[in-house]
C-alpha cells in the first residue's frame, strides 16, 4: 500500500519534498502527486493555506480585504510552493 507507506513515512516528523518522497518510495514524482491529490480528496491530508499575501488585515500595506501589498509582493504565495499536512 503505497499511500499508507507515504503517511507512515511522515510520522517521523520530518517534512519532505515531492521528489524526496518519490525517491524514498521508489516511484515517480507524478505518482506522488496523484497520491497527494487523492489523499487530499479523502481528507487524509490537507493543503496549508496561508492567509498572508491575500489579506493580513493588519499590516500597513493592507487595503482592507482587497489584498495585502505590505507583507509580500503580489502573488507571493505562488512562489512559496505548496504544502500539505497530515490531518490527525
Partner 1 sequence: MSATIALLGQPNSGKSTLFNALTGLRQHVGNWPGKTVEKKEGTFTHKGDTYSVADLPGSYSMSANSDEEVITRDFIASGKADVVCILADSSQLERSLFMLADYAGLSAPCFLVLNMADVAKEQGKKIDANKIEQKLGIPVMLFSATDTKSYDIFYATLERAIKEKSHINVSALEAEYQKIDGYQDIQQRISDCTIPGYTPMWLTVKILEHDKVVTAKLKNALPDEVMKHIEQQTKSSETAIAAGECKFNWIDSILSGAVTETKTKTTLGRLDRIYTHKFWGKPAVVLTVLLGLLASFIPALPIMGIGSGVDMVNGMIRSSLMETGTSAFLTGLLCDVLIQSLSYVIKMLGFVFGVTLVFGLLEEVGVMARISYVFDNTMGKLGLQGKSVMPFLVSFGCTMGGAAGARVIDNWGQKVLTIALAWAVPCGAAWAIIPMLSTVFFGAGAPLVIVALLLVMILHMWITAKIFGRKLVKTEDKCGMIMELPPYHKPKWGALMRYVFGRTKDTFFRVVKVVLLVCGIFWLLSYGGSTGENSILEKFGLAIEPVTKFFGMPWQLFLAFIASSVGKEGAVGVITALYSGGSIGTAFSEAMAGGARAANLNELLLANVTRPEALAFIFAITFNLPCVVALAATYQEIHSVKWTLKIALYYTVSALLLGCIAYHIGMLIW
Q: Judged by CB under 8 A, does residue 24 bind partner 1?
A: no
Binding mask 36-55 for partner 1 (x = CB under 8 A): xxxx-xx-xx--xxxxx---
* Cα gap 78→15, rounded to integer Å: 20
* Cα gap 47→11, rounded to integer Å: 17
Nearest approach in angstroms of CB 22 to partner 1 is 6
Which residues partner with 47 through β-bridges?
84
Cell of 24: 524514498
- Would you tell me which residues interact with partner 1 (CB under 8 A)? 1-4, 7, 9-22, 28-31, 33-39, 41-42, 44-45, 48-52, 56-61, 68-76, 78-86, 88
Amino acid at each position: 500500500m503505497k499511500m499508507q507507506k507515504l503517511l507512515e513515512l511522515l510520522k517521523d516528523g520530518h517534512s519532505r519534498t515531492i521528489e524526496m518522497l518519490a525517491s524514498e518510495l521508489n516511484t515517480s514524482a507524478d505518482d506522488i502527486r496523484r497520491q497527494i491529490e487523492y489523499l487530499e480528496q479523502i481528507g487524509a491530508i490537507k493543503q496549508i493555506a496561508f492567509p498572508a499575501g491575500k489579506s493580513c488585515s493588519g499590516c500597513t500595506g493592507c487595503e482592507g480585504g482587497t489584498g495585502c501589498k505590505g507583507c509580500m509582493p503580489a502573488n507571493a504565495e505562488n512562489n512559496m510552493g505548496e504544502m500539505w499536512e497530515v490531518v490527525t
